[in-house]
Chain A
Amino acid sequence: MNPSFGKEFIPLQCNQCEDAPCQRVCPTCAIYTSPEGVVLVHRNRCVGCKYCVEACPYKVRTLDHHEGIVVKCWFCIDLVRQGGEPACVTTCPTQVRIFGDLDDPISRISRFIAQHRAEPLRPDLNTRPKIFYKRS
């Protein structure tokens, strides 16, 4: 049997988990979920212990050594609150990203997920990630 090789590019970012392991392990309660469902870091509470960096299964948290705190994708929450979309969605030249309300069953994203059976990465890790991928 010949070994089979494949190559796939997958953009990876914070999955905004519903049961976020980073939030559970943070000793200072610096990590919280916003009313919109976005996982955010309270920059005045973070002490930089890096426990969340270890706990994140997707390894998408990084350290800002200048401020000494952990930073992550915040889904451009300020743009979203003004009715816009995250910068990664609006700037993507091939428009592969869809942003929207997962709680709304008739939103474009919910219909897209249902139609294409898009799935999150490693749902078996039980963190209930909120980024879905349509993979061929």
Chain B
Amino acid sequence: MPESAWGWLIISYLFLAGAGSGAFLAAVACDLLAPDWSKALARAGSFASGPLVIVGTACLVFDLEAGFWQPWRQIYLISNLTSAISWGVLILSAFIPVALLYAAALNEISFVGRYAKKYVRLLEVIGSILAVSTAGYTGVLIAVVNGVPFWNTPIMPVLFLASAVSTGLAVAMIGAAIIDISTIRTLSNFALGHVIFLAIEAVVLMLFIFTSLTRSVEAASSANILLSGFLSPCFWGLVVMVGILVPFLLSVVEYYEYGQMSKYLVVGADLCVLIGGMSLRAVIIFSGTPPQIIS
């Protein structure tokens, strides 16, 4: 089993930052496109976005060692602009306040929300750019790593962005069901979103695995750990079946049965997407094999 210096905290961060920025994008799309009777999804998505990214960032800080015990060292984190982490710190520091302001605006929380509501379109534009940057950057973070050839591909940010959008939509849909269970019928409108985004995610995942099989010996050995190695139960079971196939089929049914599907199945499909998103990051981190130094 290849050993990674990064573990569950970083995996959680990759997942939470993706889901949080995806929820923001889902909220913006819903606020702009959906009719008034289904605004619960926009409210839920915006409400979940900031806190998810904050918890994700906290995971990142907990993973530090000296920087955790001596937090003043964290000021150095933005000193190297050739490092993806420095960029990430800047993007997260910009995205979190915008996401919180947007949540306040859509949910009309206190005077801040009433004030922010005046600039809601501006928040949507800036926030969407930052959300795409946050989700994409989680992929760039590991794509620029020379030490793990499996991650070292430009498909990585695309895959993480695709997964962020589908997990974000799932978060917003679960949130909408929690805020107002009567909206569960209207959620069928967004099932089409799941169908589209899960299909895109599946295609990108396939591209990633297929190209990895031929890119280099090390990338192929990582890909084989997923396809037939010790992580294959997690990959085929959690990422492919639970994460993509089951919610895809459920969403197709949900879209055609329009509001007739049991609420447990509607929310269940979203939970499946979340489990798949987390598992995807976990199997990618845990299957990373270093270059073969001695040939």
Other-chain contact of A25, B64, B79, B83, B89 (Cβ < 8 Å)? B83
Give the residues in chain A near B67, CB-CB below 8 Å: 28, 46-49, 68
| Residue pair A57, B290 in contact (C-beta under 8 Å) | yes
Q: Which of B66, B142, B291 contacts A125 (CB 8 A)?
A: B291
Q: Is the CB of A48 within 8 A of B6?
A: no
A54 and B286 CA atoms in complex are apart in Å by: 12
Pull 5 A–B residue pairs with CB atoms less than 8 Å apart, ordered by A.
A28-B67, A29-B80, A49-B85, A59-B290, A69-B66
Interface of A is mostly: loop
> Which 6 A-B pairs rank lowest in CB-CB distance, beginning with the nearest?
A47-B67, A48-B65, A68-B65, A68-B66, A27-B85, A28-B76
Bound CA span A63–B148, Å:
18
B145 at the interface (CB under 8 A from A): yes
Known contacts: A27-B89, A54-B5, A65-B65. The answer to whether A47 contacts B77 by CB under 8 A is yes
Q: How large is the interface on B (under 10, 10 to 19, 20 to 34, 35 or more residues)?
A: 35 or more
When chains A and B are docked, how far (Å) is the Cα of A25 from the Cα of B85?
8
Contact A55 B147 (CB under 8 A): yes
Chain B residues contacting A12 (CB-CB under 8 Å) are 293
Q: Which residues of A contact B142 (CB under 8 A)?
A: 54
Q: Do B145 and A54 have beta carbons less than 8 Å apart?
A: yes
Set of chain A residues within 8 Å of B70, measured between Cβ atoms: 68
Q: Closest CB-CB distance, B38 to chain A, in whole Å?
A: 41
Which residues of chain A have C-beta atoms less than 8 A from B6's C-beta? Answer: 50, 54
B144 within 8 A of A: yes
* CB atoms of B83 and A53 under 8 A apart: no
Residues of B within 8 A of A68 (CB): 64-70
Beta-carbon contact of A47 and B5 below 8 Å? no
Is B118 interfacial (CB 8 A cutoff)?
A: no
* B80 pairs with A50, CB closer than 8 A: no
Residues of B within 8 A of A67 (CB): 66
Selected contact of B65 from candidates A44, A63, A125, CB within 8 Å: A63
Closest to B85 in A: A27
Q: Tell me whether A51 is interfacial, beta carbon within 8 Å.
A: yes
With a cutoff of 8 Å between Cβ atoms, the chain B residues found around residue A28 in the complex are 67, 73, 76-77, 79-80
Chain B residues whose CB sits within 8 angstroms of the CB of A21 once the complex forms? 145-147
Contact with A along B158-178 (1 / 0, CB 8 A): 000000000000000000000
Contact (Cβ within 8 A) B80 A26? yes
Contact with A along B256-289 (1 / 0, CB 8 A): 0000000000000000000000000000000010
Which residues from chain A sit less than 8 Å from chain B, CB to CB? Answer: 8, 10, 12, 21, 24-30, 44-51, 53-59, 63, 65, 67-69, 121-122, 125, 127
Chain A hits for B108, CB < 8 A: none
Known: A24-B82, A26-B80, A27-B80. A58 touches B293 (CB 8 A): yes
Chain B residues with CB below 8 A from A58, complex form: 291, 293
A57 pairs with B5, CB closer than 8 A: no
- Least Cβ–Cβ distance between B73 and chain A, in angstroms: 5
Q: How many whole Å from B62's CB to the nearest CB in chain A?
A: 11
**A47 close to B147 (CB less than 8 A):** no
Q: Closest residue of chain B to A133, judged by CB? A: B294
8 Å CB interface, B139-154 against A: 142, 144-148
Q: Which of B73-131 contact A (CB under 8 A)?
A: 73-74, 76-80, 82-86, 89
| B218, chain A: closest CB distance, angstroms | 10
Interface residue? B228 (CB, 8 A):
no
Q: Which among A10, A26, A46, A55 is the interface contact of B145 at CB below 8 angstroms?
A: A55
Whether B146 lies near A122 (C-beta < 8 A) is no
Task: Closest A residue to B7 by CB, please name it.
Answer: A50
Extra contacts, 8 of them, besides A28-B67, A28-B79 (Cβ < 8 A), are: A28-B73, A46-B73, A47-B66, A47-B68, A48-B64, A48-B65, A54-B288, A68-B64
CB-CB nearest in chain B for A124:
B291
